[in-house]
Each structure stands twice: as structure tokens, then as C-alpha cells.
Homo-oligomer: A and B are copies of this chain.
């Protein structure tokens, strides 16, 4: 499921860059692992760097347990998702705040992230993409995970839609801010 913006007014400032949101989409299980562990889902907010025009993706781990409540951003995305995975729908007159997909901050804490230069995780798997993976997961409900797996399975079964873990290779991962 991918939500695109034709006239984006969603600007994110991260690691000294100014990023304009192009689209966002979801994967299950998460495409990043922490200490070898992958989580239930991951949101990818795909941006363009307004200065260099390079792609930059903000990855947000979505975790779920029996105590977690539904996330409004994911709920709205699933509500407007096309019945079949892989098709796209155009929705007008709907306002959506991608900020709903960011974990909350407190007054004294910025959102910490890990940064590396990698590639897109879906074809054409373009290289030279700035990745910013937030360290803190966003909590969603277990029903939302199951709904997404059914969506990825075209409503006929459950399915995953993540790329297998890739070796780190010679990439350097920085922690910020």
C-alpha cells in the first residue's frame, strides 16, 4: 500500500537536510532488524532532499503487543487502501497528516535515528538513498498487523511483503541527532 502526494506540503527536517514527502508505504515484517530481531511492520516515508534532489527514506518500526492500541495514521491508510494489493486508488478531498506515523516526542527528547546510505528495498532498488531509521518504535494494534497481512494477501490469505535482510557490507551506520 502506497500513499502518494501530488502537491506535497509535508516538509521534514532531519540530519541537516530538508526533505519533501513524496509517498509512504508499509512492510511486514520490518525490513530493518535491531540486534537481529525484526518487528511486526515498518513504515517507509519516502522523501526527496530539496537541495540535492536525492531520495531519503524515513523508516519507522511498527511494533504490536496485546496492550497496544490502533495507530490512527495506519488505520486511515488501511481504510482507503484498494481492495487488491498492487492496485492504486486516487483519493481526493482527504486530508491526512503523515505526522500520525511518527512516534511522539517529549519536550526534552528529539527523535533519535540511525543513518546510512543504502538503496530502495523494492525494484528498481535505486542506490545512493539516505536512510533514517528511527530508534523508537511506534505502537500499533495486533489487529492492524493482521489486517495488513490480509491486505498484502489480497484478502484471500495472509502474506508478507518485505525484502529479506541484506548484509551490511561496508556501509557505515551513524547515530543522530
What are the interface flags for A58-83 relative to B under an 8 Å C-beta threshold, 1 for contact and 0 otherwise?
00000011100000000000000000
Tell me, yes or no, whether A153 is within 8 Å of chain B by CB.
yes
Q: Is A173 in contact with chain B by the CB < 8 A criterion?
A: no
Count of residues in A whose CB is under 8 Å from the partner chain = 21
| Smallest CB separation, A61 vs chain B (Å) | 13
State the copy count for this chain: 2
- Chain A interface mostly helix, strand, loop or mixed? loop
Q: Given A142-B146, A146-B64, A158–B160 Cβ distance below 8 Å?
A: yes
Binary flags per residue of A113-153, CB closer than 8 Å to B gives 1, else 0: 00000000000000000000000000001110110000001
Could you list which residues of chain A lie within 8 angstroms of chain B, going by C-beta atoms?
28-29, 33, 36-38, 40, 64-66, 141-143, 145-146, 153, 155-158, 160
